[in-house]
Chain A
Amino acid sequence: MDSTQLLKGVLDTAVLAVLDNGRTYGYDLVRQLRSAGFEGVGDASVYGTLRRLFNGGYLASEIVPSEEGPARKYYGINGAGRDMLANSKKTWTEFTSSMDALLEGGEEE
C-alpha cells in the first residue's frame, strides 16, 4: 500500500493535529510532519492544504516580521479547526478500529 496516497487522504487531519500543538509557519510545519514519520508528504501539498483549511475558516494566521529574512505567516488552529480535528479523530478511530478488526479477522482465517 502506498502510504503517500494514504497521507493525502488524512493530510488535513495531520496538519490540524500539528497546529493544535502550537502555531507555526509553513516550512516548520513541513519539518514537523516529516519528523512525525510522514516523509512522503510534498511541500506543495502541505501549502495547498494550509490554503484550503485557511479559506475554509479552520485556521487563523498572523504575519510576524523577521529580522533574518522575509516576514513569516504563522498559522494557528481556531475553534472551528478544533471542532474539525475532533470529528476527524473520531472518524479516524472508528475507521482504524474497523480496519484493524477486519485485518485481524482475515489473519485468523
Chain B
Amino acid sequence: MKLTLSPAKAKYLERVAAGLADLSGEDRDDVIQDLEAHLVELEDDQMVRTLGDAEEFVTEFRASAGLTDRDSPPDVSRLMVVRARLGNWGQRLSSMTNWGTIRPVWVWTRGWLLIAGLAVLSQSTPFQHFPIPTIEGSLLGLLLVAGATYLSVALDRGRTPVRQFSSVVFSAAAVVIMLTGVVAGPPLSSSGHGEIADGAMLQPGQLIGADGGEVTNIYAFDREGNSVEVLLFDQNGNPLQSLPAWVYEEAERNPGFDEPFEVGPFAVRFARDEFGRPVTNLYPLTTLQFGADGWMPLPPPQLGFPRVGGGPSGEDAITNDGAIVTTTSMPELEGLSD
C-alpha cells in the first residue's frame, strides 16, 4: 500500500513550502519533493525531533544552501516570477506525463529531430536513406546527428543554470525546427521528383520542363514551321495532361460546362468532339486571359525552333542540334471541332 502523509506531516510540508515561497519553482519543488519522501519515513513524533519545527528547518536549509534570508527583501524580478510559474507548470506537466521515464528518450532523440528538421527545411530529398537525414549527403547528416546527440546528452548532464538554460533552448529549437519543417517543408519523399521551380507541388500527370517549371501547354510545328494541332498520348496510351487533375475531373463531371476553366493566371477552353465532349489532349490548348473585353486568347510563345531537314514524312531527319526527328502518321480522328 502506498504510504501517504499524515495531516501533521502534510501541514509541516505546507509550512516549509510557505517558508521557501520566494525560491524558484524548481528549487522549491525539489526540496519539497525530497522532504516529502523523507517525512514518509518518519513517525509523526519523530518529525519535529529530527527535523526541527518548520521554521527552524527553513532557516537551517537556507543557511546551508546559501540562500538569502527570508527577512531581507527577496530579489523577485519579473523574470524570476515568470521562471517560478514556468517551473510550476513544468512540474505539473512532468507529473501528468511521467516525464521522468520519457525524458531520457527525449534527450537522446532531440538531436536527431533538430538535424532532421533542418534537412526537411533545406533539402528537397531530406530522407534518401531514412532515418539518416540528408544534408549535402547522408554522411554529413549522420555526423551532424551524432554531434547533436552528443551535445544534447552533455547539456542534460550538467545542472548549472547556464547548462539548464542551454538544454531548454536546445529542446525548443528541436521542436520548432521540426514543426516548421513539417508545416512548410516539402513532402518527405525520397524520389526527388514532384517539385517545380516556384516551390509548388506537381499533381500526378502534370508535366515538368527542363527548367523545373510547370508545362501547361504544348505547341507543335511541322517541318516547315507551321503550327499544327496534335492529339498527344503517353507511352501507355493515356491522354497527355498538362493541367492540374481537378480540371480534367471537372471537365469529366460537367461535360456540358462551356466556360473556360480558370487555372491560376489563365483559363483553358477545351476543344469538343462531335458529341460535345471535351477533348483534353488536343494541343496546343486554347488558353485565355481575362481582360477588359472579357476572355481573350493568349498569344503563343515566341519560338525559335530548329529547322528540320530531311525527306517527307516517314524518313528520319536531323535537326540543327543533331537530334533525330522521326515522324509518324497521325491516328484517324473524327468530328473534332473547336
Contact = CB atoms under 8 A, between A and B. Distances in A.
Interface of A: 8, 11, 25-27, 30, 42-52, 54-57, 59-73, 78, 80
Contact of B30 (A30, A46, A51): A51
A51 B4 CA distance: 24
Nearest to A41: B64
Interface of B: 1-4, 27, 30-31, 33-38, 40-41, 50-52, 56-67, 100, 157-161, 163
B37 A27 contact: yes
Contacts, number: 104
Given A48-B63, A71-B100, 9 more contacts: A42-B64, A44-B57, A48-B62, A51-B31, A56-B160, A63-B100, A65-B100, A69-B2, A69-B4
Contact of A26 (B38, B65, B160): B38
Contacts of A57: 158-160, 163
B52 A73 contact: no
Nearest to B60: A44
B328 to A, nearest CB: 76
A72 B52 CA distance: 22
A52 B64 CA distance: 8
Given A26-B34, A48-B65, A71-B100, A78 B157 contact: yes
B2 A73 contact: no
Contact of A54 (B2, B56, B159): B159
A69 B61 CA distance: 23
B163 A73 contact: no
Nearest to B65: A48
A50 B60 contact: no
Contacts of B33: 63, 70-71, 73
A38 B2 CA distance: 31
Given A44-B60, A57-B158, A69-B3, A51 B65 contact: yes
Contacts of B1: 68
A77 B75 CA distance: 30
Nearest to A54: B159
17 contacts: A25-B34, A26-B34, A42-B64, A43-B38, A46-B64, A48-B62, A48-B66, A51-B27, A55-B27, A55-B160, A60-B157, A60-B159, A61-B159, A62-B100, A63-B33, A66-B37, A72-B37
A48 B52 CA distance: 14
A50 B163 CA distance: 18
Contact of A47 (B34, B59, B157): B34
A31 B66 CA distance: 23
Given A27-B37, A47-B35, A68 B27 contact: no
B31 A71 contact: no
A11 to B, nearest CB: 7
A27 B38 contact: yes
